[in-house]
């Protein structure tokens, strides 16, 4: 029988160079101190000659700079360290959420160079109007980036809902959006980014997915594979495998909110019973803690809940323990299935992590078979607030690092 996967692309002559550009650039990005050409040659297995040629291209394209202060060490001609350019291409991350808009710019090295948040209740606003405001915010971010010598090479927009490949927002229940063609709505505005070969000008993706990717930018100790659970009104999971997001067959992976945790339990708005969301969703937790009627904005309510729990309020503590247990049951299933070793509590769960973590950990270690061999880490997300915007911007940058040839060919 034939293999059912689509055959990979051909390799033309030039693909060789393209690939080695990515190999060398990737090494420079992954190194903990500026590597020399000779070091790169040793580590990649390429000849010094080849590395020199490749680096020349990268320097000419402005993706890499020579680090001026050369660290003196031992005898021999001093090496010239190479670093990612701080003024080359950058990624633009955008986010539309229920009560804020956000934009941020991340440079090649993964540093957040600009970040702005505009608080506003977007539920009463029409999608077209929301997108228009977002375009303004993006224009501002673009100006800021230009002022620092950065060129925006692509943008990623995070939306709290289901998105299809074409960028159509199929359903964003908490925003009240349905079949909103975001790219088309943006068409009237000035383009967000420069055109770069192989990097789509705008990618629209689920907020939970991009927030998970954001975690990759949080620090050097981030593992390559982890589960990122973010609790908002719904509960989304981002599955990061080997440094990139697992999207599923149709791009709708990560719907952990409707994993059954008590099959005959509370009815859920999805029509089934006992979904995780009915036990560990924001509304459920707040209701259990007695904060239901307050009708506060989502993040304020969460802050309030954390305060109550910190002060030892029994209802709050109980609500969080219950939610944590339910979450732990669902997470244990995922970890058993995918054999992950790290679980990150993000989004609305991050500030509540001190209280959610113990019950989650308890359920996980009780239910995960391989926990005996190697323990599962459960920790709060390192990035706060608009992690999805950072993750989106980072995904653009990562795409350039993975395929630098696209950027090089478009340089004047």
Residue 281 DSSP class: S
Burial of 190 per CB tally in 10 Å (0-12, 13-18, 19+): exposed
CB 12, min distance to DNA, A: 4
Q: Choose the one of a second copy, DNA, none that binds residue 64, judging by a C-beta under 5 to 8 angstroms depending on kind.
A: none
Of the pair 41, 381, the CB lying nearest DNA is at 41
**H or E segment and range at residue 279:** helix 277-280
Considering beta carbons, is residue 153 or 239 the nearer one to a second copy? 239
What are the residues whose beta carbons fall under 8 Å from the beta carbon of 77, sequence distance 6 or more?
none
Q: How far is CA 228 from CA 62, 213, 256, in A?
A: 34, 9, 11
Nearest distance, CB of residue 62 and DNA, angstroms: 16
d(CA 208, CA 83): 31
Confirm if 79 and 92 have CB atoms less than 8 A apart: no
DSSP state of 258: G
Q: How far apart are CA 5 and CA 155, in angstroms?
A: 30
The C-alpha atoms of residue 205 and residue 96 are separated, in whole angstroms, by: 11
Nearer to a second copy, 49 or 128 (CB): 49
The site partner of 76 among DNA, a second copy, none (C-beta below 5 to 8 Å per kind) is DNA
Q: Contact residues for DNA (CB under 7 A)?
A: 10-14, 16-17, 20, 36-39, 46-50, 52-56, 72, 74-80
Report in angstroms how near the CB of residue 17 gets to DNA at its nearest: 4
Q: Which is nearer to a second copy, 35 or 348 (CB)?
A: 35
Backbone angles phi, psi at 39, to 5 degrees: -65, -45
> Closer to DNA at the Cβ: 37 or 228?
37
Binding site partner of 14, from a second copy, DNA, none, Cβ cut-off 5-8 A by kind:
DNA
Shortest distance in whole angstroms from residue 132 CB to a second copy: 29
Distance (Å) of CA 245 to CA 119, 250, 320, 395? 28, 13, 29, 10
Number of Cα atoms under 13 Å in the Cβ half of residue 29 = 22
Helix (H), strand (E) at residue 245: strand 244-245
Give one DSSP letter per residue of 172-192, joined into a string. ETTTTEEEEEHHHHHTTSPPS
Choose the contact partner of 216 out of a second copy, DNA, none; CB within 5 to 8 A by kind: a second copy
Quickly count: other Cβ atoms within 10 Å of residue 133's Cβ. 15
Residue 181 binding result from a second copy, DNA, none, given CB thresholds of 5 to 8 Å by partner type: none
Give least dist CB 50 to DNA, A: 4
Measured from the CB atom, the residue of 115 and 398 that comes closer to a second copy is 398
Residue 248 binding: pick among a second copy, DNA, none (C-beta 5-8 Å cut-off by kind): a second copy
Give 351's contacts (C-beta < 8 A, 6+ positions apart).
302, 303, 306, 380
Whichever of 85 and 291 has its CB closer to a second copy, that residue is 85
Q: Which residues contact 1 (CB under 8 A, 6 or more apart)?
A: none
CA 257 to CA 160: how far, in whole Å? 13
Residue 339's binding partner among a second copy, DNA, none (Cβ under 5 to 8 angstroms by kind) is a second copy
Q: Would you say 45 or 293 has its CB closer to a second copy?
A: 45
**Residue 52 touches which of a second copy, DNA, none (CB < 5 to 8 A by kind)?**
DNA
247 binding partner (options DNA, a second copy, none; Cβ < 5 to 8 Å by kind): a second copy
The nearer residue to DNA, 84 or 98, going by C-beta atoms, is 84
Residue matched to tokens 């970890």: 335
CB of residue 268 to a second copy, shortest distance in Å: 9
Q: Which alpha helices (H) appear in 110-216, and where do they start and end?
A: 127-147, 182-186, 207-215
Separation between Cα atoms, residue 158 and residue 110, nearest integer Å: 18
> C-beta of 197: minimal distance to DNA in Å?
15
161 or 201: whose CB is closer to a second copy?
Answer: 161
- For residue 198, the partner it binds in a second copy, DNA, none, with Cβ less than 5 to 8 A by kind, is none
């Amino acid at each position: 029988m034939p293999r059912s996967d689509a055959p990979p692309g051909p390799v033309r002559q030039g693909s060789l160079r393209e690939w080695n550009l990515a190999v060398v650039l990737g090494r420079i990005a992954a190194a903990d101190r500026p590597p020399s050409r000779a070091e790169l040659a040793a580590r990649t297995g390429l000849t010094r000659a080849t590395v020199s040629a490749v680096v020349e291209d990268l320097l000419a394209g402005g993706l890499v700079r020579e680090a001026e202060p050369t660290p003196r060490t031992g005898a021999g001609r001093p090496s010239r360290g190479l670093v990612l350019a701080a003024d080359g291409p950058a990624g633009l991350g955008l986010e539309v959420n229920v009560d804020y808009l956000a934009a941020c710019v991340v440079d090649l090295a993964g540093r957040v160079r600009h970040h702005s948040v505009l608080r506003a209740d977007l539920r009463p606003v029409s999608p077209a109007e929301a997108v228009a405001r977002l375009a303004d915010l993006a224009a501002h971010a673009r100006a800021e980036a230009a002022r620092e010598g950065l060129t925006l090479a692509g943008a990623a927009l995070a939306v709290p809902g289901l998105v299809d490949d074409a960028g159509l927002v199929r359903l964003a229940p908490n925003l009240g959006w349905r079949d909103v063609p975001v790219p088309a709505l943006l068409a009237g505005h000035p383009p967000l980014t420069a055109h770069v070969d192989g990097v789509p000008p705008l990618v629209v993706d689920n907020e939970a997915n991009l927030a998970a990717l954001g975690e990759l930018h949080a620090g050097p100790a981030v593992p390559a594979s982890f589960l990122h659970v973010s609790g908002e009104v719904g509960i989304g999971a981002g599955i990061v495998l080997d440094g990139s997001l697992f999207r599923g067959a149709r791009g709708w992976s990560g719907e952990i909110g409707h994993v059954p945790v008590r099959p005959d339990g509370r009815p859920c708005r999805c029509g089934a019973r006992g979904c995780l969301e009915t036990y560990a969703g924001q509304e459920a937790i707040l209701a259990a803690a007695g904060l239901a009627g307050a009708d506060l904005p989502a993040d304020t309510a969460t802050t309030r809940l954390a305060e109550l729990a910190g002060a030892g309020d029994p209802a709050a503590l109980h609500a969080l323990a219950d939610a944590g247990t339910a979450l732990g049951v669902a997470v244990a299933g995922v970890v058993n299935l995918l054999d992950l070793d790290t679980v990150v509590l993000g989004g609305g769960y991050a500030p509540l992590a001190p209280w959610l973590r113990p019950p989650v950990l308890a359920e996980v270690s009780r239910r995960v078979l391989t926990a005996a061999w190697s323990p599962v880490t459960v920790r709060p997300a390192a990035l706060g607030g608009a992690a999805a915007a950072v993750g989106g911007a980072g995904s653009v940058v990562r795409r350039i690092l993975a395929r630098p040839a696209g950027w090089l060919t478009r340089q004047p």
